[in-house]
Amino acid sequence: MKFRKINDTTINCIITQDDLKKHGIDLDDLFDRRKNAVEFIRRIILKAASSVNLNIKNDYTSMRISVLPDQSVSLTISQDPVESAKIREHKEMAEHPGERKPDAPEAGKRASGRRMPALTADNGTYIFQFPTVMDTVKCCRILSSCKGIETSLYFVKEIGNYYLLIVKGTDPAENYSSIVLSLNEFGKMVSCDEITLAYIKEHSECILRSRAAQQISEIYS
């Protein structure tokens, strides 16, 4: 496992397939929040917090789980100090009901252990996964005529998949989102969070860093 402190309230943990197998956990266990997986995650939180010297044991902790291209798991754990303070206040009110203020808001709920990974970044960035280069070519032929975008192509040798990174430029086509979503016919849209982007850029071979769609379309015209 690898732990990284993102900021004062957030840490990230990369859990490999070997780590999961060692503890008898699979991906379904995590996303279905089964008992063995919940206990495993609790241990991970404590270990992660200890490794980066971060106190993340307060009442309100949220988690985001996403699967990386090599099937390892990215677990991002965040602590919200504002929500923690609210929950502590409501606990005190419950213990001393006579002191409860009128119209007090309901206590905040603990964040869910499962959140679906973001398929697009706020800046309009998408990642598509392809099993073969020809599937990538079909997609690039559509994108090559789409103005206002930048594309890069990566290859992850360990799993044999191609990843096309699509970034919205300053003057994109009006139907940019519709064009991108139509690419699901040729490839699989995957999580586009910060951790996945960093993984692809650091652990894969960059085949074409810019104008990937146009260059591939010209090569296979």
Give the model confidence (pLDDT) of 125-136 as tens digits: 889 999 898 999
pLDDT at res. 186: 87
91/17 same-domain check: yes
Asked if residue 75 has pLDDT above 70, the reply is: yes
CATH code for the domain of 51: 3.30.70
CA 45 centroid distance within chain: 17
Instruction: Give yes or no: residues 111 and 24 share one domain.
Output: yes
pLDDT at 117: 53
Domain boundary among 88, 115, 142: 115
In this structure, the answer to whether residues 101 and 134 fall within a common structural domain is no
C-beta of residue 153 within 8 angstroms of C-beta of residue 116: no
Q: What is the CATH number of the domain that holds 209?
A: 3.30.70.1950
> Is 60 a residue whose pLDDT tops 60?
no
Backbone phi and psi for residue 32, each to the nearest 5 degrees, phi listed first: -90, 0
Angle at which helix 212-219 crosses helix 133-143, to 10 degrees, equals: 110
User: How many domains is the chain partitioned into structurally?
Assistant: 2
pLDDT band of 120, cuts 50, 70, 90 = low
Token reading at 86? 């609210």
Q: Do residues 141 and 211 both lie within one domain? A: yes
Same domain, yes or no: 94 and 151: no
Q: Of 141, 219, 151, 122, nearest to 183 (Cα)? A: 141
Q: Which of 63, 80, 115 is the last residue of a domain?
A: 115
Side-chain-facing half-sphere of 94: CA atoms under 13 Å? 9
Residue 213's pLDDT band, with cuts at 50, 70 and 90, is very high
Map residue 165 onto helix, strand or coil: strand
Find where tokens 């392809």 sit.
130
Domain limits at 192?
126-219
Task: Find the distance separating the first CA and the last CA of the chain, reported in whole Å.
Answer: 44
State yes or no: pLDDT of 214 exceeds 90: yes
- Taking a C-beta distance cutoff of 8 angstroms, is the pair 155, 204 a contact? yes
Do 170 and 111 lie in a common domain?
Answer: no
Residue 13 in any domain: the answer is yes
Same-domain status, 110 and 155 = no
Structure tokens at 179: 């064009």
Same domain flag for 22 and 99: yes
Same domain, 159 and 84: no
Do 94 and 11 belong to one domain? yes
User: Do 25 and 104 sit in the same domain of this protein?
Assistant: yes
* Pairing between β-strand 61-67 and β-strand 126-130 as defined by DSSP bridges: unpaired
Same domain, 110 and 152: no
Last residue of a domain, one of 86, 115, 144: 115
